[in-house]
Amino acid sequence: MAGIEIILGLVGRPNKIGLTNQLVSGALKGARKAGAKTELLQMSDYMVKPCLDYLAATCSLDLKCSYNDKNLEYLGGKITNCSGLILGSPVYWGDVSGMVKYFITKMYRVYAKSGLFNGLHALGISIAGGSGDGLITGLYSIYHFFRIMRMRALDPIPATRFNLD
C-alpha cells in the first residue's frame, strides 16, 4: 500500500476497558506517533461464528465463508486493506480467547491460500492474568496464525500482571 500507512488493531476480548485493549491501544498510539493512521476494532463487536464446514477448499475458492459470516468478511476486508496488523488477546486456560480462536480458524479456511497477507507486518500482544503461566502458549497461537498466513511477524509483546508497568 503506497502513501499513508494504516495500522489495524484488533482486541480479542469483550472487556473494552481491559488490559488487552490498553496494550493494543498503546501500540497504536506508538504507530500514530510514527506517522501512521490507525484503527482500533473490538472483535466482540464483530463476533466471528464457529466454522461449520469440514471441506477447507469450499471457502477458499471465492474468499467467502460458505455460511455467510459477514463479520469475518468485514474483518478480512479490513486486514486486506491495512499496512500492518496488531492482534491482541488475553490468555484463558493457556491459549487465546475463544473469539480469537474462531477468527483464526476461519481466516485460515478462507484466506490462507490466497496470498493476500504475504509480508503484512503483524504484531501479537497477549496478556496473562493470574500466574502468567499461559503467556507463551497464547502468543504461540497468534504467531502460528501469522506464519500460516505468511505475514511478517514482529517481536511479540507478552505481558502479565507482574511486568505490566
Domain boundaries, the chain: 6-160
Q: Are strands 84-92 and 95-96 parallel, antiparallel or unpaired?
A: antiparallel
| 54 pLDDT more than 80 | no
What confidence category does residue 89 fall into, taking pLDDT thresholds of 50, 70 and 90? Answer: very high
Rounded to two decimals, the pTM is 0.92
Residue 104: HSE in the Cβ half-sphere, 13 Å Cα cutoff: 23
pLDDT in tens, 12-46: 998 888 899 999 999 999 999 999 999 999 999 99
Q: What architecture (CATH level 2) is domain 6-160? A: 3-Layer(aba) Sandwich (3.40)
- pLDDT bin (cut points 50, 70, 90) of residue 4 is low
Query: What's the pLDDT score for residue 37?
Result: 97
More confident residue, 3 or 99: 99
> For residue 153, which of 142, 138, 165, 137 has the smallest C-alpha distance?
142
Interatomic CA distance for residues 164 and 161, integer angstroms: 5
Q: Mean per-residue pLDDT for 87-102?
A: 94
137 alpha-carbon distance from chain centroid: 15
Distance of alpha carbon 20 from alpha carbon 53, whole angstroms: 30
d(CA 29, CA 84): 14
